[in-house]
Structure 1
Amino acid sequence: MQVFEPDVAISIVVPVRNEAENIAPLIEEIATALDGRWVYEIIYVNDGSTDATADRLTGIMKQRVNLRQIRHATSSGQSAAVRSGVRAARGAIVATLDGDGQNNPAFLPALIAVIENGGERVGLAAGQRVGRKDTGFKKWQSRVANGVRSNILRDGTRDTGCGLKAFRREVFLMLPYFDGLHRFLPALVRREGYEIAYVEVIDRPRRSGVSNYGFFDRLWIGVMDLAGVWWLIRRKKQTPVTTEVTSHD
């Protein structure tokens, strides 16, 4: 059983693969956004990197006691990396962002505050990108994928590809796990009866390197995931209302 350290309120999970040059600048930005506001930890999930990502993280960990690194021996994908980070998290609230620098950590406080103030009814705070900095083809690809997903799942979300999200750890861990889970969090959180809150975030260009994770990387796999989530939503049964009956002699 996971034992939570009482002094850690927030866990920031960053899945990465071959992002060595982006490690140090992003960690500094996370610290700037969160220092003095919450007691937090940063969990980098190194998803089978073959560059200097592991070494960069190990070096920074000597100066930052709240930085942790979890390593996958081989690349298992973004959903698996996020799940590994959430399972290892010590905080009751988890926030995620991509490791390439396109997600600005300055928006983390707004996402975290939504979860803190939303009570038990809000299960997910999802970033919605404005001013996309991707290539024209990637933006078109994302619009098509988001449009198809929205029409089929009716999840009320225009942009599920944004890595900036916050949620309660316990809510995430109750969701059915599959490869591709991170793309369908709004629909699956709604399936469990929770509300979704949205925060507009400003996109920015990648600092360096090339994309290692993408939205619907492989079209066929994306279609199969979409069909699976639709089936899960259709099969969800309402939790029955129960009343305890007691007898008194």
Structure 2
Amino acid sequence: MHFQFTIIIPVYNEEDNLLRLEKELLLYLEIANKKSKVLFVNDGSSDKSQEIIEAICSRNPAFTFISFKVNKGLSAALKAGFDFTNTELVGYIDSDLQTSPKDFNLLLSHINTFDLVTGMRTNRKDSLLKKLSSKTANSFRKLFTKDGMDDTNCPLKVLRTDYAKNIPMFNGLHRFLPAMVLLQGGKIKQIPVKHFPRLAGDSKFGFWNRSIGPFIDCFVFLWMKKKYINYTVSKQNI
């Protein structure tokens, strides 16, 4: 079966969300604009997530997984997902279902013109502290990267796999995907998407890794941007 689009699902201790996620993903695969498959990346979960993921994959041929020995964080999970993707397009969504897989079609409708299309959460269903810390982080990042994106933390993105595989990886990467596509000379776009409250499980991000951590990562990005190598071969005889 020829797939065109891989949906990466980073998972860390989400046992209470996975069966609902399976149902929503199956509904999406029926209406997807591109022939799609799912790749779970279990980021060293200590609950029953791996057991549930294996059961899901055993009954759904379009679902696959990889599993880390220990927890490495969201950026590492995304890197692994990119490394194991073999389709032309790749995207990701969080396993908490605060965004909907159905909105992938909104993003995919623009991917012929752009190299990365990201969601922008509207009417967010988060706590005031979470929204304020996220807004602060986005302001810092936008100032440093000049990527023009209002919500790079939105866990709903689609990008061309060749761009994804060429992104220099570091912890905190997930906040800089649009800026890193721009470094490669790519084109990016943001699209408003729906947002929902978390119904089960706990958020893996607190004040530190929503605000202070991203501020520090901005300096890492500036250093990397200065050192970044990007070239285009105009002619060859190999």
Same fold (TM over 0.5): yes
TM-score, structure 1 as length reference: 0.87
The structure whose Rg is larger is: 1
Percent of residue pairs identical: 31
Q: 2:13 aligns with which of 12, 18, 21?
A: 18
25, 29, 51: which one aligns with 1:34? 29
Q: CA deviation at 1:199?
A: 1.2
Equivalent-residue separation in structure 1 for 2:232 and 2:107 (angstroms): 32
Structure-2-length-normalised TM-score: 0.91
| Match runs of 1:1-249 below 5 Å | 7-35=2-30, 37=32, 38-115=34-111, 117-118=112-113, 122-213=114-205, 217=209, 220-236=212-228, 239=231
Q: Which amino acid aligns with 1:191?
A: L
Deviations 1:56-101 (A, max 9, x none): 1111222101111110111000010011112112311001001111
RMSD of the TM alignment (CA)? Answer: 2.2
Q: Distance in 1 between matches of 2:74 and 2:120?
A: 19
**Unaligned stretches of 5+ residues in structure 1:** 1-5, 245-249
Aligned residue for 1:25, secondary structure, equals: helix
Contact 2:142/2:149 (<8 A) preserved: yes
Q: Is the 8 A contact 1:97 1:163 kept in 2?
A: yes
Q: How many residues align?
A: 236
Deviates more, 1:148-157 or 1:137-146: 148-157
Moved more, 232-241 or 18-27: 232-241
Say whether the 8 Å CA contact 1:95–1:166 is kept in structure 2. Answer: yes
Q: 1:221 to 1:141 in 2, by over 3 A?
A: closer
| Per-residue Cα deviation, 1:110-150 (whole angstroms, up to 9, x for no partner) | 212321x22xxx22101001011110001000111111111
**Cα contact 1:188–1:229 (8 A) shared by 2:** no
Question: 1:145–1:216: 8 Å Cα contact kept in structure 2?
Answer: no
Gaps of 5+ in 2: none
Equivalent pair of 1:34/1:109 in contact (CA under 8 Å): no
Q: What is the distance in 1 between the residues matched to 2:228 and 2:53?
A: 41
Answer whether contact 1:93 1:112 (CA < 8 A) is retained. Answer: no
